[in-house]
Every structure is written in structure tokens, then in C-alpha cells.
């Protein structure tokens, strides 16, 4: 008797729809997420230098990977990560993996120009006769500004990518009146 109810409850517990237009249910969500998170961590180590973006992506990805490997229930993973359904998490991981090489290719140009500006400013201040601790403060500010610029660039790219995916989803949907 108990076996029959367990089988019945397992059959009822499977999700049939995400409730989101254009986003189908993924029955292998756990395997896909573990694979995508592993690829993301590998891509950050090979493509990105030590910067704010890399540390952010690694922290988020490590946390999500830990949650997915420790918990097998879909509802538990969704509640602990708190960023949508598992299908949305897969989409976010794919977006991140797509964004890393693009970000790595574009981050060098603005950073080097900013570094040269701050270096020339620090050099001028050093020739004026600033004490050594002020130079250290300037260098810390320089790193902070470069990291903040990288963070803003990343946030802008993520918003643009999610908007493009949303528009693509709308264009492929047929509306019934």
C-alpha cells in the first residue's frame, strides 16, 4: 500500500510546465546545471584576469554548484538559490558562459586606458612631492575605479542580453485572440 502511494506521489510531483512562455521543462536540469557551472568556473580561470567580475562570478557559481550538488529536489534548489526556476537557472548559466569570453575580450581596452590616465595622475602627484602613503591610497582608488567600471560594464551586458532573450522569446511566440 505504501509503495503505491509513493509511486503515485512521485508521478504527480513532476513538473509539466514552467509557466514561462518559450521556456520548456528540462527533466535533466541537475546534470545540465552541474555541467554548466563547471564550464563557467573553468572559463573564468582561463579567460579572465584577477578582477571584480571574476571573483563575483566564481563566488556565485561556487555557491550555486554547492546547492545543486547537495540537494536533489527541484523545489529546494529553487528556494535556496532564489533566482527563479531551475530552467531559468540553466538559462542564466548559459548566458554567463556566453558572456565570459566577450567580457574578457572587451575589458582590456577600457581598463588599460583608465590605468594610463590614473598612472599619469599618480606620476604627477609623485613629482609634486606627495608622501608615500598617499601614493598607496591613489593606487587603491585606481584599482577600485577599474573594478567598479568592470562591474558596471558587466551589469549592462547582462541586462542587454536578458532583454535580447526576452525579445527573441516574444517574437517566436504566437498569440491567440
Tell me the per-residue pLDDT of 23-64, one tens digit each, with 9 for 90 and over.
889 999 999 999 999 999 999 988 877 778 888 899 999 999
Residue 12 in domain: no
For residue 65, give the DSSP letter. H
Backbone angles phi, psi at 27, to 5 degrees: -70, -25
Residue 111 in domain: yes
The answer to whether residues 57 and 96 touch, using CB atoms and an 8 Å cutoff, is: yes
Residue 118 has pLDDT above 90, yes or no: no
If one compares 135 and 103, the residue with the highest pLDDT of the two is 103
Residue 11 in domain: no
Query: Mind listing the pLDDT tens digit for each residue in 63-77?
Result: 999 999 999 999 999
Lookup result for grid cell 517574437: 171
For residue 16, give the DSSP letter. -
What average pLDDT does the structure give for the chain? 73
Copy the grid coordinates of residue 82: 532564489
- Domain span at residue 141 reads 28-171
Domain tally for the chain? Answer: 1
Residue 78 in domain: yes
Q: By percentage, how much of the chain surpasses pLDDT 70? A: 59
Copy the grid coordinates of residue 151: 562591474
> Nearest CA to 64 among 51, 76, 77?
77
Residue 138 in domain: yes
SS3 content of the chain, % helix, strand, coil (to 5): 80, 0, 20
Residue 23 in domain: no
Residue 50 CA to residue 118 CA, distance in Å, equals 19
Backbone angles phi, psi at 176, to 5 degrees: -110, 135
From residue 82, how far is each of 79, 96, 124 by CA, in Å?
A: 5, 17, 48
Kindly calculate the radius of gyration of the chain based on its CA atoms and give it in whole angstroms. 23
Residue 13 in domain: no
Residue 2 in domain: no
Amino acid at each position: 500500500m505504501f509503495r503505491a502511494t509513493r509511486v503515485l506521489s512521485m508521478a504527480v510531483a513532476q513538473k509539466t510546465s514552467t509557466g514561462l512562455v518559450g521556456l520548456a521543462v528540462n527533466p535533466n536540469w541537475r546534470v545540465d546545471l552541474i555541467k554548466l557551472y563547471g564550464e563557467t568556473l573553468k572559463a573564468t580561470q582561463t579567460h579572465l584576469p584577477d578582477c571584480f567580475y571574476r571573483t563575483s562570478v566564481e563566488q556565485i557559481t561556487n555557491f550555486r554548484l554547492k546547492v545543486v550538488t547537495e540537494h536533489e529536489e527541484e523545489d529546494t534548489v529553487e528556494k535556496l538559490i532564489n533566482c527563479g526556476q531551475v530552467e531559468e537557472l540553466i538559462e542564466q548559466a548559459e548566458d554567463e558562459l556566453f558572456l565570459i569570453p566577450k567580457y574578457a575580450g572587451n575589458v582590456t581596452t577600457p581598463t588599460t586606458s583608465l590605468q594610463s590616465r590614473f598612472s599619469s595622475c599618480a606620476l604627477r602627484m609623485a613629482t609634486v612631492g606627495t608622501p608615500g602613503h598617499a601614493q598607496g591610497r591613489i593606487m587603491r582608488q585606481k584599482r577600485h575605479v577599474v573594478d567598479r567600471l568592470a562591474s558596471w560594464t558587466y551589469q549592462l551586458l547582462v541586462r542587454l542580453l536578458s532583454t535580447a532573450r526576452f525579445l527573441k522569446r516574444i517574437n517566436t511566440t504566437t498569440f491567440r485572440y
